[in-house]
Each structure stands twice: as C-alpha cells, then as structure tokens.
C-alpha cells in the first residue's frame, strides 16, 4: 500500500486516540496522515482544562498538515452516553427531555450542551439519536431515544438539530436506518431488522427524513441487517447509495458506526460480505482491509474507528502487502476515488469555527446541574405510583439504599456520578455534596459489589449477572430504597425477587421496568441517568 493511498484513505477516516494526551507516535501519524476527524471517548477525558489542551493540540497538528481543521467528535448524547462527563457534566437523556414535554426548554438544553461542547474544543456531536424505541426489550437504545412515537421522535430530532446548529455544533443523526426496533446490540452481534425498505420508510426512517430536512450535517449508518444473510447497512450500497442518497436525497456526509463493533463483522455467508465469527481482537489487519473495501464501496464518506490511530495504522502497514489482492488488483479500495466524498468532507470541515475555551458559568460545585438540565429533571422525573404513601422516606440516612445493575454499569462514569450525587443527598451531605472520583472508586469497588442473581437477558440469549451495591445500610426494619441503574431488560421474576424487600424503587436505566414491578411498590422513574435527575430524585425521597 503506497503512502499516497494511505494519505487519501486517512483523509476519510475518523480515528481514536489512546489516552488523555497524544503520544509521540500519535503526533507523528496525525501529522503524516492527517485524518478527517478524531473521536473522543471517556478514556481521553479527565477534566475540562485537559480536554481543551488535547483538542487544541489535535486541531493544530491536523490543520497544519492538511490545511483544514479536523472534525472533533464525541458521543455526548446525554444520560449514560456522555463521554465528556468529567469535563462538561451530563446532559439529560433524550427520553427525559421528551418526557419534560417542553420544546422551548428542550431547545435550551440542547443549546447548553452545544455551548459546553464548544468550550472543550469538540465541534461535532454524534447525535441526536433518531431511533424510535419500538422494542421495550432493546438492550442498547432505550432512554437514548426520544421515545416510541414516530411523530414525537421526529419533532424532537428537528428541535435538537436546529438548537445544536445554532450553538455551532455539527450534527450527526443515528443509527440509520433505525436501531430502536431491535432486540440485540450491534456492539455484540448483527441485529436483523426483518423488514422491508417500504416499511422502514413508513416508520423508522421518518425521524431521519425530518432530521435531513432540518439540516443534519451527517448521517451515521448502523451495523444493522435488513434480513438474514444480508450485510450490515453500513456496508450495503443498497442502503447507503440507493436509499439514503437517491431516495432520501441526502447530500451531506455519511459516516459508518464504529468499525470495531461486532455488527460490522457478522455478515453471514451468502451476503456480499464474508462471514467473520472470531473475536475482534484476533482479526488484525486483514479484517481491516476487508472493511475498507466494503465500507468505501458501499458509498460511505467517512469511516469511523474507535481504536487508537497508532494501532489502526500499524494494522494497515502490516496488511498493506495483501491489499492489492483483497481489492481486486486495483491498488486501492473501490470508492476511494469518489471525488464527491472528498468535496462533502472538505466543505464540512471548512465550516468549523475557531477554538472557544473557557469555564462553564456557575460550575462551583462540580455537579453541572443548575441549568436547563435541572429544569428538565424537575419536569420529567416522575413518581409513577405511591400506593402506600411511602414518600417522602425522610430521616437522616436511617434507611437502606441499594443500587442494582450489571458489573459494567458500575464501571460507567455517568452511573458513578449518579450514584455519588444521590448517595450524598440521602446520606445527609446535601444536594451539592461532591463525591470525588477516588471516593467513588472506593465506594463502588469490586469488594463492595455483592453478586446477585444470574439471568438471561431477554431477547438476546446472553447470560448476565446482577450486582448489588449498598452504601447505606440503615437499621433493622428501616425502609429500603432500590435504584435500578442497568439499561438492559431484566426478566420479570428476577425484578420481583430483587424488589421483595423494597419500599421504594427508582428506575433510572430501563424505564419499561415500571410495567413489571409489583403494583404495591412505590416507583420513581428518571428516564435516564444524569446528575440533575439524581438531585431531584433525592429530594423526592427525602421530602426536601
């Protein structure tokens, strides 16, 4: 693979970086082969100042090498998927914003998020999520969606795009052609939609159509198969070129979902993409070369890689000798020479404004919740039912507080912030109590997580286990508050077993659990995990 081909491919890549600062290897690659963009994850963020420094350095290197500023993007949708939490806090989940029912307030919340993104040097939000959550057992979308109604979701997508754009953010609607109706997660397998394009156009695609009309800059295509033995939409020219480009007349930038995801590798024999069943970390450069071939050939403008640019380019160099054979002797993947793709990408990058750095107004306590985010929480956190008038529990911590979820839930930054904020209120340290990261690590440690029941995740066939974390134990006979932080569905019998000794259940991650919990139980639903929701929930429980 020649240096020229590698440079052309890099200009259509979005790449990850390894840590909170660039390594010498990463600096060298970004300079020699400047990508179109860089994506940030929680591993890259420790504070606002650090993030500002990182994005400024990335922007400088790429712009000096390519003549254009890079797209610097992040999955900062709100709720659990808020990778910049340590820098700029956690916005409300999209479902919480919709439940607040106020488009004017939603506009303010989206504008606030756009402002915070710009302060830390992120110019592109991978959102809003345009999926309609039509499957209650969906293990990956849930509160990331605005809801279950196609018209309501479409209206909120329009609202979000216009507000983000007014705030200077480049927008990217996802996950085309719609991930909300699936019972599996494209991170771990290839979901099969099992429908026709005509049916998609009548329902799932409506919010994407609305988003395009509202001026969405990019569309992210998901790793979702239309039917068995078909390739993922992200690698299928029938979806990218014929449906999105031709039938929907989208003229902006098309980007794949992360190509490390299992859904990009699970096309079955008989489709246009070879079967891949071995673990991702064993695939190496040959699999990456395969993906380049199909992703470019399907008509995508940008290819998204979540792993570090150093690892990616090492794989490309190792596999370079085999590239000609895998690409049919052409010397480059089909679609790489598409001039229109370069034009669209360059036009988008040319719109990026200069850096805006500074502090977030009112950030004195580190909780980031005294903004439209808090007003969203005030209007959306709901007492679903309180049949025995258990609220407020009151007291000064004289009750049992337990958080319930899978192990990975307790490893999530946003979940830990939610736990820390709610714990500080219910422990009597006040709503503005700030639990340090080190203290949270101590609180939510492996030794403090007590294994609960093993269960099969409904719809997926995957086995998992719940864990309990109890920071407040109360006394004998004291009321019990159980907080469900998991986002994946849990079987009916397991939920009932876990709630058997509970007075109040707080549903934070999977709102559809409210329909399964015992009728005599007091139930609060936050429609997502974020700091402000923890504050309002704590006030409800304590009667503040």
For 60-83, what is each residue's pLDDT tens digit? 999 999 999 999 999 999 999 999
Split at pLDDT 50, 70, 90, the class of 282 is: very low
pTM for the predicted model, two decimal places? 0.92
Does position 437 have pLDDT exceeding 80, yes or no? Answer: no
First to last CA, the chain: 65
Closest by CA position to 162, among listed 110, 236, 112, 202 = 110
pLDDT digits (tens, 9 = 90+) for 106-130: 999 999 999 999 999 999 999 999 9
Q: Which residue has the higher pLDDT, 6 or 160?
A: 160
| Residue partners of 514: CB distance under 8 A and separation at least 6 | 384, 507, 523, 525
**How far apart are alpha carbons 159 and 128 in whole angstroms?**
10
Q: To which H or E segment does residue 132 belong?
A: none
CA distance 182 to 481: 32
Q: Which regions of 273-395 does DSSP assign to beta strands (E)?
A: 303-308, 382-385
Give the pLDDT confidence score for residue 274 in this predicted structure.
45
Q: Which structure tokens are listed for 39? A: 């994506």
Pair of tokens at residue 447: 């030794």
413-451 residues labelled b (16+ CB within 10 A) or e (exposed): bbbbbbbbbbbbbbbeeebebebeeeebeebbeeeebee
In this structure, the dihedral spanned by the alpha carbons of residues 105, 107, 109 and 112, taken in order and rounded to 10 degrees, is: -130
23 in Cβ contact with 61 (< 8 Å): no
- Give the DSSP H/E element, type plus range, for residue 351: none
Average pLDDT, the chain: 88
CA distances from 296 to 237, 303, 326, 341 (A): 9, 8, 13, 10
Q: How far is CA 462 from CA 139, 184, 185, 264, 299, in A?
A: 11, 10, 11, 19, 33
CB 231 within 8 A of CB 160: no
Q: Spell out the alpha helix ranges (H) of 18-78.
A: 24-32, 48-66
For the chain, what is the largest distance between any 2 Cα atoms, rounded to a whole number of angstroms? 75
Mean pLDDT value of segment 224-244: 91
d(CA 510, CA 336): 42
- Give the span between the Cα atoms of 478 and 348, in whole angstroms: 58
Greater pLDDT, 62 or 424: 62
């Amino acid at each position: 693979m020649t240096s020229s081909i590698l440079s052309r491919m890099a200009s259509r890549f979005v790449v990850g970086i390894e840590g909170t600062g660039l390594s010498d290897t990463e600096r060298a690659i970004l300079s020699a082969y400047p990508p179109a963009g860089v994506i940030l994850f929680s591993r890259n963020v420790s504070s606002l100042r650090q993030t500002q420094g990182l994005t400024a350095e990335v922007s400088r290197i790429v712009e000096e090498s390519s003549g254009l500023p890079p797209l610097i993007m992040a999955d900062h949708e709100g709720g659990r998927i808020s990778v910049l939490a340590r820098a700029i806090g956690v916005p409300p989940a999209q479902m919480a914003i919709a439940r607040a029912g106020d488009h004017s307030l939603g506009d303010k919340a989206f504008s606030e998020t756009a402002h915070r993104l710009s302060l830390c040097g992120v110019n592109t939000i991978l959102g809003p999520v345009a999926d309609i959550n039509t499957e209650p057992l969906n293990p990956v979308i849930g509160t990331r969606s605005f809801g279950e109604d196609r018209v309501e979701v479409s209206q909120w997508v329009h609202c979000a795009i216009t507000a983000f754009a007014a705030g200077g953010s480049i927008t990217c609607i996802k996950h085309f052609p719609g991930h909300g109706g699936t019972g599996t997660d494209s991170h771990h397998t290839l979901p099969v939609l099992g429908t026709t394009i005509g049916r998609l156009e009548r329902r799932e695609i409506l919010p994407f159509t609305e988003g395009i009309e509202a001026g969405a800059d990019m569309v992210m295509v998901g790793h979702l198969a239309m039917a068995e033995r078909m390739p993922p939409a992200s690698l299928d020219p029938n979806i990218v070129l014929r449906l999105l480009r031709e039938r929907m007349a989208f003229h902006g930038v098309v980007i794949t979902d992360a190509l490390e995801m299992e859904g990009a590798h699970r096309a079955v024999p008989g489709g246009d993409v070879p079967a891949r069943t071995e673990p991702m970390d064993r695939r190496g450069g040959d699999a990456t070369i395969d993906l380049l071939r199909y992703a470019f050939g399907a008509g995508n403008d940008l290819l998204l890689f979540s792993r570090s640019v150093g690892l990616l380019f090492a794989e490309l160099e190792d596999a370079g000798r085999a590239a000609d054979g895998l690409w049919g002797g052409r010397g480059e993947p089909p679609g790489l020479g598409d001039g229109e793709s370069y034009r669209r990408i360059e036009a988008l990058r040319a719109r990026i404004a200069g850096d805006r750095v500074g502090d977030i107004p009112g950030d004195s306590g580190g909780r980031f919740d005294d903004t439209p985010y808090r007003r969203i929480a005030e209007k959306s956190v709901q007492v679903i039912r309180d049949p025995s008038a258990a609220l407020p529990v009151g007291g000064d911590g004289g009750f049992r507080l337990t958080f319930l979820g899978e192990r990975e839930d307790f490893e999530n930054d946003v979940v830990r912030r939610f736990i820390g904020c709610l714990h500080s209120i219910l422990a009597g340290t006040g709503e503005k109590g700030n639990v340090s990261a080190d203290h949270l690590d101590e609180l939510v440690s492996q030794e403090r997580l007590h294994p609960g029941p093993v269960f099969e995740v409904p719809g997926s066939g995957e086995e998992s286990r719940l864990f309990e974390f109890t920071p407040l134990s109360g006394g004998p006979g004291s009321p019990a508050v159980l907080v469900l932080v998991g986002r994946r569905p849990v079987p009916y019998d397991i939920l009932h077993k876990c709630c058997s000794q509970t007075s109040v259940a707080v549903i934070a991650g999977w709102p559809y659990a409210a329909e399964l919990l015992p009728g005599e139980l007091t139930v609060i639903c936050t429609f997502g995990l974020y700091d402000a929701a923890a504050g309002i929930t704590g006030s409800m429980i304590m009667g503040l």
